[in-house]
Amino acid sequence: MEEINKGLLEKLGLNNEDYNDIIFILKRNPTLTELAIFSAMWSEHCSYKSSKHWLKKLNTKATWVIQGPGENAGVIDIGLGNAIVFKIESHNHPSFIEPYQGAATGVGGIMRDIFTMGARPIANLNCLRFGSIKDKRTNHLFEGVISGIGDYGNCTGIPTVAGECSFDKRYNKNILVNAMTLGIAKKNKIFYAKAGNIGNIVFYVGSKTGKDGIHGASMSSGAFNTKTDTLKPTVQVGDPFTEKLLMEACLELMKKDAIVGIQDMGAAGLTSSAVELAASSNLGININLDKVPLRDKSMTPEQIMLSESQERMLIILNPKKEKVAKQIFSKWNLNYANIGKINSSKNITLKYKKLNVANIPISSLVSSKTFKRTFSVYKNRYVKKNYRKEKISSLVKKILNNHNYKAKNKIWEQFDHMITRNVISQMGGNASVIKTNSGYQAIAATTDCNIFYCDVDPYEGALQAVAESYRNLISVGARPLALTNCLNFGNPEKNIIMGQFVNSIKGINRASKKLKLPIVSGNVSFYNETNDNNIPPTPQIGAVGVIEDYRKVISYNSFELSDNIYLIGTPGSHLSCSAYERCFYDYKDIKRNSIPPKVNLEDEQYNGEFISKLINDKIISACHDISDGGLLVALVEMCLINKCSISFSKKFQSHSFLFGEDQSRYIVSVSDIKLKDFEKKIKTTKIQYTKIGRIMDSKIINFADKSFINIDELEKLNKL
């Protein structure tokens, strides 16, 4: 047995105070297995000890919320007896260490969170942040992550339908890989992580346990240094074909009234799944480690408990249904074993080679320390800037030539987003739309976060991320319903980083309440730091809405030639912190002297509800929300996809009008036949609107300053 000393404690992410607390809890010295279990369950990744206090303040309730935070995923009622189960979570550290497997297992893990609750996964999304494209390692990471996501999703038959991808040198040593999955279930057939009653049996099913992923939770709870290659054994190895078999087996078993509770073996593996199942019912659990299917018979009990080998489930079964479970698992050619029982002890007890290697009160594992960390808030100052004069065409090219704004076809083409034939939207639109196969019902989903806003002002940036998600759902004709979030930050032990987190929570919460978008699930990823360099605050938002009749769905390119184009909302004025400003200043200047646009949530809601009515009444033919790059970039995006141009009705020369990133705004197209109806309706509102021009059958867009762009040439420039 390895000697318990300072070096071992550090390796496990524990300190002397933790060790003394463990002795106090157990009233004796811990075994090595017990120490490993405490290490995993008390890690930041599993315990949320730095974030728990603030997460409790989030808006999580609404009449349509079936399950909020606290389970594997959130669940909302979308009508017609259906529920959507969804969540987003991070796999950042593993993806930087080993990009292909890190990203692939991130997809696999979030999918298991969904079908664990009885839902069939129907769509994957992702949010990716890479370092500078000029950094020698970025291309390696980029290729590995994209391949990992694409291969895993394609092999399991779940379409990847949408996402985000951006590049910034502040992610050079800490890339972000956030994966989101949506599933559909009957609202009265949701499964939860619970132990049920004393005497229920504990079933292991899925891949055999190996030495991959050991200490993965602890690794994700600390900062990086330059020796990341030594951490490769902490990264899991995925098998999408086994995932598919496991999913089908679990969904089939769920129909047999056999499952009492079920939990994916994710972070901390068998440890967290066993503890969480027992804790949910305030009961104890006994596990015989000799019965766990192993790939390596030499594994120690602590290795078995901490392994994060993929494609595994822990299921609590009614003992009378054991035979049924075995038949189903055999049918799908899966490893399985009855490894334990639920009891009244309120402890987790482990046997290994007939020895008692652990006996821990479960309450001590799930009620770890909660830190109310001190924080500070960075206050920047706004300084009005003088921008050098450039042609409008030159500025459009500069923005769209930036890797953050280039078309992401290179990524999308690796994802089979039409694999189920239920996806009725194309990649790159405002939000993705997926049929539910209940009449004409569909759901819409999107992910959003402007890191440049968040870096300057985390409160406004996080609030804006919610607002943009809301607009993206509105733009396709969806009724926004709920949010999930993945909160990516640096080291929470630093006051300024904790301040970023706290203010992001406040911004999200305010927007969530006003726009009636409860947060039903999510994830916190701290310690995205290498050698004291932290990532920009990145509170990633995933949003879901329902569409009653998908025949009314529109997109940003569903217009016809000669359609009239209108700006809905205030004329642009805000250039500070914009894509336009980044053509002239670097992020350091912007962080010191810029402010992001403020979101008027009253306007956001009012304008959004009006757009919804226009779509429902079939008055507009296309819609595009205005965000990064402002009005003109949004217009050019519309032209690029359909290879057409805009004939402007006025000589719009003001750069603030063309490139300002003011919020709560949309571009809509209106046919001549619907023009009177449109003008009649909008004149009954308080909404400002501006006639921009018409869609033209041309490849040239002419601007008021006598410059122009060629759509064919811009398309070549705009490829990643």
- By annotation, the residues acting in catalysis are 45, 91
Q: Choose among 326, 105, 334, 92: nearest CA to 221.
A: 92
Give yes or no for a contact between 313 and 265, defined as CB atoms under 8 angstroms apart.
yes
| CA 238 from centroid of its chain's CA atoms | 20
Rounded to whole angstroms, the Cα distance separating 663 from 625 reads 9
- Here the tokens at position 269 are 């593996």
Q: Choose among 519, 572, 689: nearest CA to 620.
A: 689
Tell me how many degrees the CA angle 84-85-89 measures, rounded to the nearest 5.
135
Give every CB contact of residue 633 below 8 A, 6+ residues apart in sequence: 396, 399, 400, 405, 579, 659
Scanning the structure block, which residue is given the tokens 């602590």? Answer: 302
Rounded to whole angstroms, the Cα distance separating 218 from 46 reads 9
Rounded to whole angstroms, the Cα distance separating 200 from 154 reads 36
- Here the tokens at position 126 are 């992702």
Q: In angstroms, what CA-CA distances link 423 with 153, 235, 444? A: 15, 32, 10
Q: Choose among 547, 546, 461: nearest CA to 508.
A: 461
Helices 322-331 and 240-254, axial angle in degrees (round to 10):
150
Using only the alpha carbons of the chain, give its radius of gyration: 26
Reported as type and span, the H/E element at residue 273 is helix 269-280
**350, β-bridge pairs:** 287, 358
Q: What is the DSSP code string of 585-642?
A: S-HHHHHHH--PPP--HHHHHHHHHHHHHHHHTT--SEEEE--TTHHHHHHHHHHHHH
Exposure b/e, 130-169, CB count within 10 A at least 16 = b: bbebebeebeebbebbbebbbbbbbbbebbbbbbbbbbbe
Q: Choose among 341, 67, 320, 360: nearest CA to 197.
A: 341
Look at residue 122 and give its three-state secondary structure.
strand
- Here the tokens at position 515 are 């726009």
Rounded to whole angstroms, the Cα distance separating 555 from 549 reads 14
Q: What is the DSSP code string of 583-596?
A: GTS-HHHHHHH--P
Rounded to whole angstroms, the Cα distance separating 160 from 412 reads 8
Rounded to whole angstroms, the Cα distance separating 109 from 113 reads 6
- Could you say which DSSP state residue 228 is in? G
The bridge status of strand 519-525 relative to strand 479-488 is: parallel
